Amino acid sequence: MSDGLLKLLTVLASFLAGLCLLLGCAYGKEVPSKCVVIDKGIHRLFLYKDGKVIESYAVSLGIDSVSPKRRKGDKSTPEGSYYVTYKKSESRFYKFLGLSYPNNVDAWLGLRTRLVSSREYRSIANAISAGGSPPACTSLGSSIGIHGGGVYRNNGKYMMRDWTEGCIAMDNQAMDVIYSFCDVGDMVIILNSRHQFFDMMRPFGTPLVIDKTSEPGRKRKKYISELGLFTVFGQALLRLREGTDYSRSIEISLFGKGTSRPPSYVVFDRNADGKLGFGDKQTGSFGTAKGMKNPYERLLAELKKALRKGRLLACPEK
């Protein structure tokens, strides 16, 4: 078999795998009718029902309010797609909604950095698959949730805005509303809109495979993850690649108003900088973007907006 034909078949197989994932997301478990979205970048929690915001509240985050949670004791609030694992009417800080941290992506990243073993990774993945609470005994940390206690806390010298160990806190009156709104199993999306596009999306990508690429004198790995989002232009499949050599790339396929046809627009951003430059590619067009000067930048803006609205095409990993 010639190298050219092999490359073509590899590309085709990759596309079909991505299409199958998107079809599974779109028709297996669609966007939930209600969800909670927390934007760390603006310290705000939103309650969504049927695609519309019905309430919005200020929140407090972990003492390290910028970084995504990676390990026990880092005092960071996680980022990703979670679900409510349990409800507790009385707790140390008023009421409490337990969240499914760590999820599969957290475990995947922990495995890559050797914070968890393969056995611990499988234990977390199995718990998430069963819709239960992940194990609390790993180096990734646990007991993350939403609770009351106030947006600001007095530490004896001054009022602190971000004071938790990694949870999301709010005023007790707001917590009453959220506690009544949420049921066990409901989706909770935690994102940071101040991140660059790749970092904003990565916590939501389903881990796929590890590519091993041989080069003269050394080996390197590339990690691949995918996620689907529903935008005003239709359903989009994002493929994120990152290497152990710090390389990154983004590939986006837009399927318009349906997934039964080939994508109407495909873009490959080889260095994931959010701009089209040398070595980048784009084909096709989408909706009102025909003839648009910067269709890729417009699409990125819509994808960010879709994530902020909880428009993931896959429910939390269960």
Give the model confidence (pLDDT) of 63-81 as tens digits. Answer: 999 999 999 999 999 999 9
What six digits make up the tokens of 184? 């066990």
Whether residue 10 is contained in a domain is answered as: no
Pair 205, 101 in one domain: no
**Statement to judge: residues 203 and 126 lie in one domain:** no
Whole-model pTM: value is: 0.86
115 near 73, Cβ under 8 Å? no
Domain identity same for 181 and 227: no
Asked whether the predicted pLDDT for residue 23 surpasses 50, the reply is no
Mean model confidence pLDDT for the chain: 85
CA distance 281 to 20: 23
Give the burial string for 104-124 (b: 16+ CB within 10 Å, else e): bbbbbbbbbeebbeeebbebb
Distance CA 153, CA 159 (A): 5
234 and 111, same structural domain? no
Q: Quick one: 212 and 234 in the same domain?
A: yes
Asked whether 34 and 46 are in contact (CB, 8 A), the reply is no
- Shared-domain flag, residues 49 and 165: yes
Q: Are 184 and 108 members of one domain?
A: yes
Distance CA 298, CA 308 (A): 16
CATH label of the domain that carries residue 46: 2.40.440.10
Domain final residue pick, 193, 209, 235: 193
Position 284 pLDDT exceeds 60: yes
**Boundary (domain end) residue, out of 193, 221, 238:** 193
Residues 302, 214 share a domain: yes
- Band of residue 245 on the pLDDT scale cut at 50, 70, 90: confident
* Residue 28 scores a pLDDT above 60: no
Structural domain contains residue 280: yes
Domain count, the chain: 2
Pick the range with the lowest mean pLDDT from 97-101, 236-240, 256-260: 256-260
Q: Are residues 159 and 293 in the same domain?
A: no
Residue 15 belongs to a domain: no
For the ranges 29-38, 106-115, 186-195, 214-223, the maximum mean pLDDT occurs at 186-195
* Position 99 in a domain: yes
Judge if the upstream peptide bond of residue 102 is cis by omega within 30 degrees of 0: yes
Q: For residues 102 and 156, which has the higher predicted lDDT (pLDDT)?
A: 102
How far does the chain reach from its first CA to its final CA, in angstroms? 41
Residue that finishes a domain, picked among 126, 161, 193: 193
Answer yes or no: is pLDDT of 116 > 60. Answer: yes
**259 and 304, same domain (yes or no):** yes
Structural domain that includes position 168: 34-193
Structure token digits, residue 250: 């983004």
Q: Note whether 39 and 193 are within 8 A (CB).
A: yes
Whether 75 and 186 map to the same domain: the answer is yes
pLDDT tier, 219 (very low <50, low <70, confident <90, very high otherwise)? low
